[in-house]
């Protein structure tokens, strides 16, 4: 069964005190949920946010990244086991900023998907095209290649644990947003590709989020599209009232 979901990706923002206050403010204002709400915080917030979410139905904790190895001499890194030990339910894998700034490629991301699944953590797998690919008209094949290289080695049972987040990179932090029709077209295309690999039932059950500058003003229109199951929210997740409004549009 397909699950609606809104995830707030704080990126590298908020002190420990500010983050705790933000979550408290959001939880106090949340409407009755029609799906799941996920807080993807920086590492330092995970242990303090987890108790705030405990016992609250429909709210979950996510990390923004993890290392692809179980453990070892990887100074500055965090393993999936560590994340699970503090109550992490989801982890972002392959966010466009990780691909762009840290050189994460499809092969590496496949390893990260595998390690998170092995620890009982659900990956939110990010995919999407830069502006030059969009303008060249090859965005469908570009995104399909990302999915194939990083996810299609999974069994059907494993794939059912995946959440897809489509990020039109040209619309992240630029003020440009894909139209609801563009978002729907891409999400439908992604679902069709999944169906070709894993069958229509798996594809229909897969949650696909939109992750390109969604905000309180456009969330209702975006989320009304049949293949848009929620959003991966960046800047708007840092303001309680805005994030709550987006959740309400789910």
Write out the catalytic residue numbers. 95, 167
d(CA 44, CA 16): 7
d(CA 144, CA 139): 8
CA angle 61, 66, 72 (to 5 degrees): 130
The count of other CB atoms within 10 Å of the CB of residue 138 is: 13
* Nearest partner of 191 among 217, 210, 214, judged by Cα: 210
Pairing of strands 163-166, 36-41: unpaired
Alpha helices in the chain (DSSP H): 16-29, 46-53, 80-85, 96-102, 106-118, 131-136, 139-151, 156-159, 180-198, 200-205, 219-223, 240-248
The count of other CB atoms within 10 Å of the CB of residue 120 is: 11
DSSP 160: T
| CA 210, 215, 218, 220 torsion-angle sign | positive
Looking at the chain, how many residues does it have? 250
**Token digits of residue 96:** 């466009």
């Amino acid at each position: 069964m397909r699950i609606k979901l809104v995830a707030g990706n704080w990126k590298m923002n908020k002190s420990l005190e500010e983050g705790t206050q933000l979550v408290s403010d959001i939880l106090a204002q949340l409407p009755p949920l029609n799906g799941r709400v996920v807080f993807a915080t920086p590492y330092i917030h995970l242990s303090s946010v987890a108790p705030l979410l405990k016992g609250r139905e429909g709210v979950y904790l996510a990390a923004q990244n993890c290392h692809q190895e179980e453990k070892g001499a990887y100074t500055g890194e965090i393993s999936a086991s560590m994340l699970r030990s503090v109550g992490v339910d989801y982890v972002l894998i392959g966010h466009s900023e990780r691909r762009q700034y840290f050189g994460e490629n499809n092969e590496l991301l496949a390893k990260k998907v595998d390690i998170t699944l092995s620890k009982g953590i659900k990956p939110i797998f990010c995919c999407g095209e830069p502006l030059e690919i969009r303008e060249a008209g090859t965005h469908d094949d570009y995104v399909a290649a990302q999915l194939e290289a990083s996810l299609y080695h999974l069994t059907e049972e494993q794939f059912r644990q995946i959440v897809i987040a489509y990020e039109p990179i040209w619309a992240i932090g630029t003020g440009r947003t894909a139209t609801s029709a563009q978002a729907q077209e891409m999400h439908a295309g992604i679902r069709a590709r999944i169906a070709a690999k894993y069958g229509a039932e798996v594809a229909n059950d897969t949650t696909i989020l939109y992750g390109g500058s969604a905000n309180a003003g456009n969330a209702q229109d975006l989320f009304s599209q049949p293949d848009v199951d929620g959003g991966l929210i960046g800047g708007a997740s840092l303001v309680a009232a805005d994030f709550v409004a987006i959740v309400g549009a789910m």
